[in-house]
Structure 1
Amino acid sequence: MGTYADRAQVVAAFALPVLLVAVAGWFAWNETWNRAESELSRTADGASELSERVFSSAILAARLTNNILTGVSDQELRQDEALYNEQVATIMAEVSGSNMISVSDRNGILTLMSGKYPAPRVSVADREWVQALQGSDPPPVYVGAQSVGRVAGYPFFSVSIPRRGSGDDVVPGTYEGNINVSLDPLEIAAELRTTTQEDDDVLSLVRADGAILASTRGTGNPAPRVPSTSPLLKMIGQGAKRGIYEGESIGLRDGIPLGRGILIAFTQVGNLPVYATVSRTPAVIIAPWLQTMTALLAVGLPTSLALGFLSLTSLRRRDALGKSEAELRAAFESAATGTALLDSGTNRILKVNKRLCAMAGRDARELIGMPLDRLLQAPAKGSGRPAEIGSETTTGLSQLECPDGSIRWIELGTAPVVSQRIQDPSLVIATFHDVTERKESEERQILLAREVDHRAKNALAIVQALVRMERDPPIASYVKRVEGRIHALARSHELLAKDGWQGAALEDLLDDELSVYRDGAQVTVEGPPVVVTSDAVQPLSIVLHELATNAVKHGALATPAGILSVSWRHDIQTGELELCWDEKRGTRPGASVAAGGSGIAIIRGSVEQLGGRITLDVQDTGLTCRLTLPHTAITTGRSPVPVNTNSAPANTADTGADDLSGMRVLLAEDEYIVAMDMQELLERAGCVVIGPAANLKEAERLAKTERGALDAALLDVNLNGAKSIDLARDLARAGVGIVLITGYSEVLETDGHENWAQLRKPANEVEIVEALRRVGATSRRGREVEAEG
């Protein structure tokens, strides 16, 4: 055949395309599994967030039921069972996946059972949740394992709380019975299915002890459990809140002979002992890789054979060498990915193809001779690892800055090549994959998840405030007022979700409140197209709900002769929105605004929260309310303006308010309803409240005015888009105790300050008081030491 060099040339001609296919296949293999891990982790996080909303709804329903039954004895409950059944059924209707709310007395006998499958007053003393809550130290919330109903025979699992404040003559602190919310595992599994786009994925809810509560694969009777040898239970036992692992393969149906098994990701559901899991078999994971390899082999093998044939021909016909080299260059140039030949000794580029030139925005003359680390920069911290040039096949992420200043994310793969025809055999083939679109998509998904988490927890905090604001009213009116405000809040969130959390049309907000009365001529609504920004939708929705509720009870809509006119205009000069709510009561004069109550305070506070102004003109003939909102709250047209995520269950333990007596606390919170609730809470605990401040500028002004006199500060991290973390750090350095409260999931750096605490929305009274007690004690000790020095 010729010399040793000639034989090596033939081998290289056959091997190089195969090597390129092998390198590309190896990169694709790792990318396939990395993509599957990323998808499963995101799916587990999404399933956890969905499940947390379901459990939070069930817990809230149980507590509202307890509030309704406060002071009601078991005997009274049996006598008026129909009345209380009706009230509890209204609460249950708002709980996703619930089919029953039941109440049992301290002996385990059912006293109330409201739901799809009512049952006689039987004993449930043997049920798991009853026995758990009868213990000496019962949990505030107990999640029961899956059971089968004794009446209809359907499976369910439960969320239960101890009953408190019954009208029975019992020793305080002893077991008074429980309230149990039953959830349908089939409905929950159907909702879990919506969090993944892969039909073969199996999603489940698993309790910390391995009990399976719900699963998209279905459950038998009895319900299965996770094996005690599962890595999931080991990681949970070690305190892991989320993770991913490979399960054991069972033959070739669930595994493949390449050392990989079933991939399983899990995420804890809030602070509950429950975990959302999602699993995917290797057969599903590698299906895209097999398609890619089929395409690569379809190109690589014919190319390998062609180059080998050309090499053999060149040995016989030296004059054909130029043609074979031209074909090799064509294969290099026409590669679908950016490709370069590197000198591993100097790390300089020796050869590039057209795809790489287009990707870098430079021509070949600029790139040839350039060191690779000058073309590609190390990625930002936490964004991946760069590929390193060496004797091993590697892959990694880097950043490429184009001449126009734009940044592209590059997945760089390198593999060594040895050629006997070159004096220096240390050559490296590098492939450049542009993954910018994938990285940007991942960042958008993370941002959206954080924003949804933040908004959901802010909404829960407002619901908590609305419930606590109404103190000691009659049960029926209390339920009706709170339900109305919560429904207004829910409707505003539905409108936001419909437009991707970017805003909502003002006319849609009005239509939600007034649609029942707009069929005739009693209500007129008129104004140009205006879109309310996402930050303003919730407060404005509550304002419109309070106005509409007042009109129905006391104003124009309380009489058939009444007329309600709503109009608005957009001032092009100032950008402000002016809205007029005008009521005429017709022939029935009388008060147009209910005396007392929290409705007017909520209206004023919510408008001021948006930076707007309000005037109320109350006459015997009707009410005129004029609102002026700043340009930051609205945008014209129908295209919304884009905008830029676990509290412990409440308990009735002693808050230790005496420790806070006289404590001067700076309060900064941009949600007016939440601010009202927190101010009342702090004053009830004996604190002197400075504020509340609705924005960062006002908080900084109050902190400067009260310099040296503050004991603690309770700050919302996000104040109308501005972060309060720098103010918190300045106050902490001055010895002020800091309590940060946020709807986001990240834990902020404390810079080593002892007098620092962080709470997540919605925070309850016990959490807030305990945090202030701790940071206030640290702050006061620091002042005493400073005074003694």
Structure 2
Amino acid sequence: MNELASRPQAAAAERPEAARRPVAARLVVLIAGAVLLPALILMVAGWASWRGTWAEAGRELARAAEINAEYAERLVEGHARVAARIAESLAVHDDAALRAVGTELRESIARFIGELPLVRGAVVLDAVGDVLLLTGEAEAGWTRAPVGTYAAMLREAQPGRVLLGAAYRPPGFNGPLLPLGQRDPVRGRAVILLLDGARIGTALGRNVGGEDDSAALLRTDGAILARHPGFADPPPPLAPDRPLMAALGAGLAAGTIEGTTPRDGAPVLVAFRRVEGAPQLAVAVSRRRAAIAAQWRTAMLPVLGIGLPAILGLLGLALVVRRQQRTLELALAGLEQRVAERTASLQEGEDRLRVAIEAGRFGTWETDARTGMTTRSPRALEIFGLPPDQAVGPASDWAARIHPADRERVLAAWERLLAGRAPNYREEYRFRGPDGGWRWLESTAAVVRADPVTGLPIRCAGTVQDFTDRHEAEARRELLTQEVNHRARNTLAIVQAILRLTRAASPAEFARLVEGRVAALARAQALLAAERWTGAPLETLLSDEMAPYGGGDEVYRPGENRFALDGPPLRVRAEAVQALGMVFHELATNAAKHGALSVPEGRVSVTWRVDEAAGLLRIRWSETGGPVPSLPKHRGVGSRVIEATINGQLGGAVERRWPEQGLVCEIALPLAKTRAPG
């Protein structure tokens, strides 16, 4: 009896030992699955994020290259036209006459190019490259190019193309100069304009996206003409084996390539584009791979913040499951225990589903197709605006509050689901809320149980979500698009008015006046775009309009330069920015032609103040140090533009006086039409 009794006990002792071997194997598989699979997903997510970041960087650089190419095209075409205009004016003189030309002609050309902010001087060459005439800053001699520069430009010139020389830095000058000109096809002489390479580089830098991005204007032979960040001495030309030069040599018009920086060999992503109308020119915008990697790491931080804790959590869960399995195997728990654990696992899944639904702010419901009764979750009751005692009720209560314009469509989809003609449905519709207003809802539904014989639904379940805020945001975005279109039409109307009102004695004078007014309009447009069409600071608006006349960054130091601005911080409404920009442009143009800016010692002061009591913005423009003014004999175009803009468009008043010191212009504008809200 004792021997027989000991055998079951030994078998019972052997079962846990035998159970430990498969448990250990399952533990390894479980831990590997809990750690390696999420790690693999994390790696794939990182790789996808890197490709996305790299592609986005390429798109940003391509957009910047396109913008800079358009800028370079306008730069070359505009200054080429200026050079051609000078060449036409000199066509009546032969080479000997130009060498003996007097001061009056030089000063005339100097005044002409003095209105161009990028031009530092002009050089007139004969057919072999010898200098016939120097004017502007070039007359001082320090801007002259190295020996052979001009002859090389003429030698390499191709018919119909703009002359472009290599950038050089004259002694005593703090930046490079870029020779650009046009050749007279009849006499063979050429007019070369010396452009400020540092300012061109700064303009290129305004269009790049990142702080560390660089931009360059270069010839297809590798010579770098201008660059951002700037350079003191022109760098050596790019070698022909550089990836960028290889792409340009292959005839590509635009593209994105990988390469290295010439200075330190750092890996970069480069987008390039040829300049339309000047095939010997191209622009390149680059971003270091390290900067792109920094963007990628920033984008990956949220993923790592979720992924790594998830891996650790899964590892902990695997260990917990291992412990539970070990306990079950060693204890040889019965069927009842296993059923209980399965029930707990199902409950845990339901809890996770409930947490996910609550986090997504979804409401849930379930409808018995045979009775028409619907059971709704608390969130669904909140969305539908129903009291808690209506958690169970007929579906007709829901249908009655659907917007009449949407009801037929939504109910038709619901009937198709109940008739078994569709496995699910998803509809967006308006629903009357408890406050009487309309809310935008999205409902989804699916058949969760069907009759095995007829196939008709027995039970349907679904979700409902309130997306009113998203719908209103989309409506606001559409409104903003319409506003942008409206502003574009207004801008075209202003350009038409400029062309209609401008009067001049010659086509050249007409072109100059129109270009100046359109440029003022473009500056105001660019400032509005930079400020996201929310208005613009008055001081910045004034600075931009004075920049072509010697203002720029120094406009904030009264007494030391030609301009002085003084007034409290004030943002101008978007609707008034372009109008005020045109007014300030007309005043500055008049000062440059007849007033204080027509002589070196002249000064312009602009002050403004807010008169809250009268509800007015008062602006005072005063000139000193210029010629003694006299009363105008007739109203010019500028006067009509100022009066029409101030009185008609902005509803203000303007008063001009001409004391001996110079013009004084007093402007009073309603704050309601000029001051930006906030």
Pair 1:237-2:251 in alignment: yes
Instruction: Give the one of 16, 37, 50 matched to 2:58.
Output: 37
Letter in 2 for 1:233: A
Instruction: Quote the residue 1:638 is aligned against.
Output: 675
Letter in 2 for 1:243: G
Distance 2:588 2:45 in 1: 60
Distance 2:255 2:666 in 1: 53
Residues 556-581 of structure 1: CA deviation (Å, up to 9, x unaligned): xxxxxxxxxxx999999xxxx99999
Deviation of 1:25 (Å)? 2.2
Q: Is the 8 A contact 1:247 1:263 kept in 2?
A: yes
Distance 1:542 1:275 in 2: 33
Q: Is the 8 A contact 1:493 1:538 kept in 2?
A: no
Distance 2:494 2:513 in 1: 17
Letter in 1 for 2:65: A
Counterparts of residues 44-443 of structure 1 (less than 5 Å) = 44-52=65-73, 54-55=75-76, 58-59=79-80, 61-63=82-84, 65-66=86-87, 69=90, 71-110=92-131, 111-115=133-137, 118=141, 127-133=151-157, 137-139=159-161, 141-146=162-167, 156-163=177-184, 174-196=186-208, 198-216=210-228, 222-227=236-241, 230=244, 233=247, 237-238=251-252, 240=253, 242-247=254-259, 254=266, 262-269=268-275, 271-273=277-279, 274-290=281-297, 292=300, 295=305, 298-318=308-328, 352=356, 354-355=358-359, 357-358=360-361, 362-363=362-363
Change in Cα spacing, 1:189 to 1:485, as seen in structure 2 (3 Å) is closer
Letter in 2 for 1:282: R
TM-score under structure 1 normalisation?
0.46
Instruction: Give the one of 501, 506, 521 matched to 1:471.
Output: 506
Distance 1:549 1:100 in 2: 19
Which range is displaced more, 22-31 or 599-608? 599-608
Change in Cα spacing, 1:216 to 1:536, as seen in structure 2 (3 Å) is closer
Residues 154-202 of structure 1: CA deviation (Å, up to 9, x unaligned): 8543221124xxxxxxxxx513411112234455334433433535433
Deviation of 1:286 (Å)? 1.9
Deviation of 1:307 (Å)? 2.7
Larger CA Rg, structure 1 vs 2: 2
Instruction: Quote the residue 1:536 is aligned against.
Output: 579
Distance 1:636 1:154 in 2: 44
Tell me the C-alpha RMSD between the 2 structures. Answer: 6.9
Secondary structure of the structure 2 residue equivalent to 1:224: coil
Distance 1:32 1:486 in 2: 39
Q: Is the 8 A contact 2:520 2:585 kept in 1?
A: yes
Residues 350-406 of structure 1: CA deviation (Å, up to 9, x unaligned): xx5655x14xxx3366999xxxxxxxxxxxxxxxxxxxxxxxxxxxxxxx9898988
Residues 310-347 of structure 1: CA deviation (Å, up to 9, x unaligned): 2322321357888889999999999xxxxxxxxxxxxx
Distance 2:197 2:319 in 1: 64
Q: Is the 8 A contact 1:44 1:265 kept in 2?
A: yes
Distance 1:545 1:234 in 2: 44
Secondary structure of the structure 1 residue equivalent to 2:38: helix
Residues 593-634 of structure 1: CA deviation (Å, up to 9, x unaligned): 4359766776799899969999999xxxxxxx99999x9xx9
Change in Cα spacing, 1:539 to 1:616, as seen in structure 2 (3 Å) is same
Distance 1:34 1:121 in 2: 42
Distance 2:480 2:278 in 1: 25
Pair 1:594-2:633 in alignment: yes
Change in Cα spacing, 1:279 to 1:608, as seen in structure 2 (3 Å) is same
Change in Cα spacing, 1:44 to 1:551, as seen in structure 2 (3 Å) is closer
Q: Is the 8 A contact 2:53 2:295 kept in 1?
A: yes
Distance 1:443 1:468 in 2: 40
Deviation of 1:32 (Å)? 1.7
Q: Is the 8 A contact 1:211 1:226 kept in 2?
A: no
Counterparts of residues 364-763 of structure 1 (less than 5 Å) = 469-471=504-506, 533-537=576-580, 539-541=582-584, 592-594=631-633, 636-639=673-676
Change in Cα spacing, 1:212 to 1:23, as seen in structure 2 (3 Å) is same
Letter in 1 for 2:506: R
Residues 714-768 of structure 1: CA deviation (Å, up to 9, x unaligned): xxxxxxxxxxxxxxxxxxxxxxxxxxxxxxxxxxxxxxxxxxxxxxxxxxxxxxx
Distance 1:143 1:452 in 2: 38
Distance 2:632 2:40 in 1: 82
Residues 682-718 of structure 1: CA deviation (Å, up to 9, x unaligned): xxxxxxxxxxxxxxxxxxxxxxxxxxxxxxxxxxxxx
Secondary structure of the structure 2 residue equivalent to 1:237: coil
Deviation of 1:306 (Å)? 1.6
Change in Cα spacing, 1:225 to 1:216, as seen in structure 2 (3 Å) is farther
Letter in 1 for 2:121: M
Instruction: Quote the residue 1:780 is aligned against.
Output: none
Change in Cα spacing, 1:309 to 1:7, as seen in structure 2 (3 Å) is same
Letter in 1 for 2:676: S
Letter in 2 for 1:204: A
Deviation of 1:481 (Å)? 8.0
Distance 1:282 1:353 in 2: 41
Change in Cα spacing, 1:544 to 1:132, as seen in structure 2 (3 Å) is same
Letter in 2 for 1:313: R
Q: Is the 8 A contact 1:208 1:236 kept in 2?
A: no
Letter in 2 for 1:38: R
Deviation of 1:636 (Å)? 2.2
Distance 1:284 1:18 in 2: 26
Change in Cα spacing, 1:298 to 1:215, as seen in structure 2 (3 Å) is same
TM-score under structure 2 normalisation?
0.52
Change in Cα spacing, 1:206 to 1:451, as seen in structure 2 (3 Å) is farther
Change in Cα spacing, 1:502 to 1:23, as seen in structure 2 (3 Å) is same
Distance 1:638 1:153 in 2: 41
Distance 2:482 2:189 in 1: 44
Deviation of 1:639 (Å)? 0.3
Q: Is the 8 A contact 2:38 2:307 kept in 1?
A: no
Which range is displaced more, 320-329 or 262-271? 320-329
Distance 1:102 1:609 in 2: 46
Percent identity (aligned):
22
Change in Cα spacing, 1:11 to 1:456, as seen in structure 2 (3 Å) is same
Residues 131-172 of structure 1: CA deviation (Å, up to 9, x unaligned): 345x6x343x33334457699898543221124xxxxxxxxx
Change in Cα spacing, 1:3 to 1:497, as seen in structure 2 (3 Å) is closer
